Amino acid sequence: MRKMIWLKVGGRHFHLLKLTGAFLMFAFLLKVAEAAYQIFVTVNKAIYAQARPDLVPQLFGWSINSPASFTGEDVLGVLMGPIGNFLFWLGLVTAALIIYQSGKIIVPIEEYEQNISAHHKLLISKARAAHAKHFGKKKR
């Protein structure tokens, strides 16, 4: 049996964990959208930097050794941060969704622990039966 925490606001009851998950999911979805926008901004900057390498210091705040080129490796390098940021926030949205759906999702760890518990109960009952059989025959 699980205990659930309920919050009463204005005569209505809210499942506190579900409410927290909803707020987190909304906030993280906004951050995912911001990170996706940042990817597009960085791609546009990279396109301009490839067309005009003299704009690299203004676009990215650093300069490359040869101002005549902005290579594919440079494009990959400037995109790593925004893509990593996007995936990080996407992972947190998934975690918030799990919190939001906490009443419906059964985590496999819980099932595994319950199976271990049932296994231990069976071993204990067998040990008690063996103990009663062995020591029940002796007379005191």
Report the pLDDT value the prediction gives residue 14, as an integer from 0 to 100: 67
Question: How many residues are given for the chain?
Answer: 140
End-to-end CA distance of the chain: 44
Cα–Cα distance for residue pair 52/49, rounded to 1 Å? 5
The one-digit pLDDT tens for each residue of the chain (140 residues) are: 455 566 666 777 667 778 788 899 999 999 999 999 999 999 999 999 888 888 888 888 876 665 567 888 888 999 999 999 999 999 999 999 988 887 665 555 544 455 667 777 788 888 888 888 877 755 54
Q: For the chain, how big is the Rg over CA atoms in Å?
A: 29
Contacts of 1 (CB under 8 A, 6+ apart): none
Report the pLDDT value the prediction gives residue 140, as an integer from 0 to 100: 47
Q: What is the largest CA-CA distance in the chain?
A: 101
Cβ atoms 103, 22 nearer than 8 A? no
Report the pLDDT value the prediction gives residue 42, as an integer from 0 to 100: 95
Exposed/middle/buried for residue 5 (C-beta within 10 Å: 0-12, 13-18, 19+): exposed
Cβ atoms 24, 99 nearer than 8 A? yes
Residue type (1 letter), 8: K
Report the pLDDT value the prediction gives residue 70, as an integer from 0 to 100: 80
Report the pLDDT value the prediction gives residue 113, as an integer from 0 to 100: 52
